[in-house]
Structure 1
């Protein structure tokens, strides 16, 4: 399956997790590409009218994985801006993960995932699986669990 991992990663942590997921899915025979989205200028929580340098094209992918950091207890505004410009996600197999520094998912991760699910529903899709990767806590175990769960989806 051709899978696109659409990521926003400012510190590099989300990208690192995406690389580990790419490696796992590739060993299962999937063609996996990481597609970064980057803002023009500064991006910060609460930013309005965010413009993007890159808009990865999703038509070529059967599966999509959306990934971004949690900022101010919400999904990164960069990923939100990207998703808002998509017309549809219908007929795509979708999973998503968020990364965060706080040790517990209720400290922003749950809300960020809920927002991602809501946005995807408005675009005609349902997210098949999600993961919250807390950097403080059992980081490696969370990544391993995510790789196993997402491998079952694709």
Structure 2
């Protein structure tokens, strides 16, 4: 099974989880999405949370991605204002050849994931992908081996079923 792990990370927590998934799954690719929009240092967090709350989009790098060759897409995002980030929203919106692909999502958060599952489902299904699950990882559990093992099992179970 070929897996593409597409994530956005600001503090490194989501990156850590994405890298862990990639390190223990065969035939996977990591794609980090970065927000290219310029913000003033003092207002960066407030502007980004406001954009997340309104399910906004932003300028990203890479600006598009062809996922034709993958069997499973894994999306990762921190939680801002109880929702995934504008950067991951934009990436989902600009994917090429994603229709009918199975996709799962994970978030990292300091508290509760809020509406992240529902929002990811809406974005994924809105692009014609099959929403195959969601999982939230609290920042205090990022280094927990059993949580990481559960996450990897979740990803592996979400892949296409062989007939």
TM-score over 0.5 for the alignment? yes
Q: Which runs of 5+ in 1 are unaligned?
A: none
1:101 aligns with 2:120: no
Question: What is the TM-score normalised by the length of structure 2?
Answer: 0.79
Q: Separation in 1 of the partners of 2:154 and 2:114?
A: 17
C-alpha distance 62-138 of structure 1, shift in aligned 2 (>3 A): closer
1:134 aligns with 2:143: no
RMSD: 2.1
Stretch deviating more after TM superposition (37-46 or 114-123): 37-46
Question: What is the TM-score normalised by the length of structure 1?
Answer: 0.83
C-alpha distance 34-116 of structure 1, shift in aligned 2 (>3 A): same
The question of whether the paired residues in 1 share the 8 Å contact of 2:108 and 2:137 is answered with yes
C-alpha distance 143-59 of structure 1, shift in aligned 2 (>3 A): same
1:120 aligns with 2:119: no
Residue in 1 that maps onto 2:29: 33
Q: Separation in 2 of the partners of 1:38 and 1:138?
A: 21
Q: Separation in 1 of the partners of 2:5 and 2:142?
A: 23
Q: Separation in 1 of the partners of 2:107 and 2:119?
A: 11
The alpha carbon displacement at 1:138 in A equals 8.0
1:45 aligns with 2:49: yes
Q: Separation in 1 of the partners of 2:134 and 2:80?
A: 17
Summarize the alignment of residues 1-154 of structure 1 with structure 2, pairs less than 5 Å apart: 1-26=1-26, 31-40=27-36, 41-42=38-39, 44-47=48-51, 50-54=58-62, 55-86=64-95, 89-102=98-111, 107=112, 109-136=113-140, 140=144, 141-154=146-159
The alpha carbon displacement at 1:121 in A equals 1.2
The question of whether the paired residues in 2 share the 8 Å contact of 1:74 and 1:111 is answered with yes
Give the secondary structure class of the aligned counterpart of 2:25.
helix
Stretch deviating more after TM superposition (132-141 or 35-44): 132-141
The question of whether the paired residues in 2 share the 8 Å contact of 1:35 and 1:56 is answered with no
Aligned residues: 145
